[in-house]
Structure 1
Amino acid sequence: MESSGRVVVGVDGSESSLTAAAWAAEEADLRHAKQVHFVIVSGDPARDDEAWEIVGPVAEQTADRHPRLAVSSGVEPGAPADVLLQLADEAELIVVGSRGRSTLAATLLGSVSAKVAAHAQCPVVVVRDHRDSGAVVVGVDNSPHSGAALRYAFDAASRYGSELVAVQVWQDVEYAPVVPRMQYELADLRDEALRGVAEQLAGWTESYPDVPVRKVAQRGHPVAELAAAAEDARLLVVGHRGRGGFTGLLLGSVAAGVLHHASCPVAVVRAGGVTS
């Protein structure tokens, strides 16, 4: 997908969406985006003035704090997820808060954020907390979506000047749970997973020599292990779908769990949807 240079941000007046707006403005500045566009969805035309009173100040404050950015705003009718997905067709990034409120029928909570992340062609970042430090954590699993996530994660780590932590979560699904593995068997499986991580990172580390990389292979459930790995992270990046260690990495399962449990912003990246 060719980059449009446009970052689209869904707002609704909630604290979470304002946090997402601040994160998005900083991100747009760091990635030298051409424009950041704030949108609020109004389900009632009679309340459009109220909607403008919410989105207008957000755009004005962003323009004051980030004078290099071209800032715009809009009030759109319809369902929030549908509006954001339409705007995603011409965006390089969609940003939403992890929680919202139902004012103006513009809730950005849970189901809307997940729907946008599931269906948008461009990367989607769901923001729970605005952080200015920490590593970029990325889940890897050898799938095409994992490759797209790696590209996004390396780009982000390079922009931030931060460490990249590549995490492969593996599950011992072929072994009877009543018979525990011997320690040497677990060590062999972990070493095999680490070799897989190293193979996936090989080309990327050459392309991004400025990014320090740490490889992690962890046994367990992907949601729990990724959320734990990203506890102090600046950003967690996951592919839209996965396989292998991330069996069934769909927005309805593992990725949805990561969006719900991770404390840092989460980027969901679709194969072929990363823009530079």
Structure 2
Amino acid sequence: MREPFPVLGEPPAAGRPGILAACDGSDGSLWALDRAMTEAELFRLPLYVLAVVNPSPTGYPPGMEELVHESVERLTESMADGLRRAVGTVQSARERPYGGELSLHVVLGNVVEVVLACTAGQHTAVLGTRGNGGFTRLLLGSVTSAAVHHAACPVLVVPAPPAG
């Protein structure tokens, strides 16, 4: 059986501008993904959905990298499954399914650095106001804030829908 959303382990190709949606599975990133689908359809551009896995923010002690390789693979596979579910969830909630070109990308690295690097050459980056970080009191998440200030393309920040 062919998987509905193949996941690439590399950033979006630099040559073809599109709409970049950073998705970590949080509610904010799902709202942003829905808006990114709308933007991609409106501008008839490919949609690149990006998830970033940072398995060790502080690095590995000498000799440990080989030992944790299998865990990193499992973590990456889990993120890929979560990304597929996120796209499926947003698809099923839309009035009409997204019909444009779509690719999923799970990339290892520092989240802010990878997202900023992936904005190069893109039409627009679409992000939610907050992701899965632990500081919910912040108005903008650290990734979104970094993108607003340092992205190489325009950034669309999608707020939470009104309560009610």
TM bin (shorter chain): 0.7 to 0.9
SS at match of 2:49: strand
What does residue 144 of structure 2 align with? 255
Q: Looking at both structures, which has the greater relative contact order when contacts are Cα pairs under 8 Å and sequence separation is at least 6? A: 2
The CA distance in 2 between the partners of 1:171 and 1:199, in whole Å, is 20
1:98-117 superposed matches below 5 A:
none
How many angstroms does 1:254 deviate by? Answer: 2.4
Q: What are the superposed Cα offsets for residues 32-65 of structure 1, whole Å, 9 maximum, x if unpaired?
A: xxxxxxxxxxxxxxxxxxxxxxxxxxxxxxxxxx
The corresponding residue for 1:189 is 75
CA drift of 1:187 comes to 2.3
Identity among equivalent pairs (%) = 23
Residue 91 of structure 2 contacts residue 98 of structure 2 at CA under 8 Å; is this kept in 1? yes
Q: TM-score, normalised by structure 2?
A: 0.73
Q: Which residue is 1:76 aligned to? A: none
**CA-CA distance at 1:229 after TM superposition:** 1.5
Other-structure match for 2:7: none
What's the secondary structure of 1:180's corresponding residue? helix
Taking the TM superposition and a 5 Å limit, the aligned residue runs for 1:1-276 are 134-173=17-56, 177-178=60-61, 179-181=64-66, 182-205=68-91, 207-243=96-132, 248=135, 250=138, 251=140, 253-272=142-161
In structure 2, stretches of 5+ residues that fail to align are 1-15
SS in 2 for 1:263: coil
Contact 1:147 1:271 (8 Å CA) reproduced? no
Ranges in structure 1 where 5+ consecutive residues have no aligned partner: 1-132
Distance 1:163 1:184, change over 3 A: same
Q: Is the 8 A contact 1:242 1:248 kept in 2?
A: no
In structure 2, what residue type is equivalent to 1:231?
A
* Alpha-carbon distance, 1:272 to partner: 0.3
Larger relative helix fraction: 1
Q: Distance in 1 between matches of 2:57 and 2:18?
A: 33
What is the CA distance between 1:253 and its match in structure 2? 2.7
Q: Is the 8 A contact 2:116 2:151 kept in 1?
A: yes
Amino acid at match of 1:161: R
CA distance in 1, matches of 2:47, 2:86: 13
Q: Is the 8 A contact 2:131 2:141 kept in 1?
A: no
Pick the structure with greater CA Rg: 1
The DSSP-based 3-state class of the residue aligned with 1:214 is strand
CA contact (8 A) 1:137 1:167 kept: yes
Shift of 1:144: 1.4
Tell me how far apart the structure 2 counterparts of residues 151 and 242 of structure 1 sit (CA, whole Å).
15
The residue identity in structure 1 corresponding to 2:76 is R
Q: Offset of 1:176 from its aligned partner?
A: 7.3
Counterpart code for 1:195: D
Post-superposition CA distance 1:51-86 (Å, at most 9, x none): xxxxxxxxxxxxxxxxxxxxxxxxxxxxxxxxxxxx
Give 1:252 deviation, angstroms. Answer: 6.5
